[in-house]
Amino acid sequence: MKQFEHSQVVQELCAITYDMWRNGWDEYNGGNVSYLLSEDEVGELQEAAPRVKVEVEAIPESLVGRYLLITASGSHFRTLKDHVKRDTGVVRIVTNGYEVLWGFEENRKPTSEFYMHILAHAKRLSINPHHRVVVHNHATNIVLYSLLNEVTSRSLTLDLWSVLTESIVVFPDGIAVLPWEVPGTHQIGLDTAEELAEHRIVVWAKHGVLSTGVDYQDCFGLIETADKAAKLALDLQRISGKPIAENNVLSKDNLRAVCQALKVKGKYLGE
């Protein structure tokens, strides 16, 4: 299956994981990424005999029969590009779990956030049939902002919109915030999926961020924009010594004007 290793979808996975490590978002073995493969992208893997079968409860029916390229538990994004067949793999999702068809060499297995990934994919597919990618990392400024401030979905979204004009265009649906939870559990997967019904980005307070999109760049761009806005907000707080809203930031009227000009609808502007 050498051809799949050098396919565009795998090479783009190598690129985004390395870029996230380079940005400081994925220290050591932090972060995980998954990509729903099309039939054309799966290619000959459809005929591969399963090497491993793993049972997982409550598989979403909409994902049964789909193929998922996903990073491995313990993978290091700094070096993933040099160990693709060890640090990533392809699984076929079945009614009671998944079958490993490619990758995960040296007895590796999918990320501990596997259940969250399949729930996230199922939820976003129900909203956008073009959805393909889920990315989780520890974007530094977003995490720091949630440590310094008691954030809610509404407060974080409005703070970030108010310091970076284009951010409301990039994520007009806002950013959901989950209070801190233990990672890798079924519960955080369920709670994340619930928020993805109305948002493409979910912040796990005091932990990290998850984004969903139609391709890798879509997910990367969402986090990149939110993290830059969080950095601006942090610097503004530090320099001024005042809460964000007490500074010379964009008003709701300013944000409404942006929405009107660029034909988007800001989720929290009507409140």
Can you list the pairs that 253-260 forms with residues at least 24 positions away whose Cβ atoms lie under 8 Å? 255/161, 255/162, 255/168, 258/165, 258/168, 258/169, 259/168, 259/172
Is-catalytic flag, 55? no
Virtual torsion, Cα 253, 259, 260, 264, nearest 10 deg: -150
Virtual torsion, Cα 153, 158, 163, 165, nearest 10 deg: 110
Nearest to 166 by CA among 266, 270, 258, 265: 258
Virtual torsion, Cα 231, 232, 235, 240, nearest 10 deg: -150
Whether 72 and 108 have beta carbons less than 8 Å apart is answered as: yes
| From 41, 113, 195, 224, active-site residue | 113
Cα separation, 95 vs 63, whole angstroms: 9
- Bridge-based pairing state of the strands 175-178 and 201-204: parallel
Residues labelled catalytic? 113
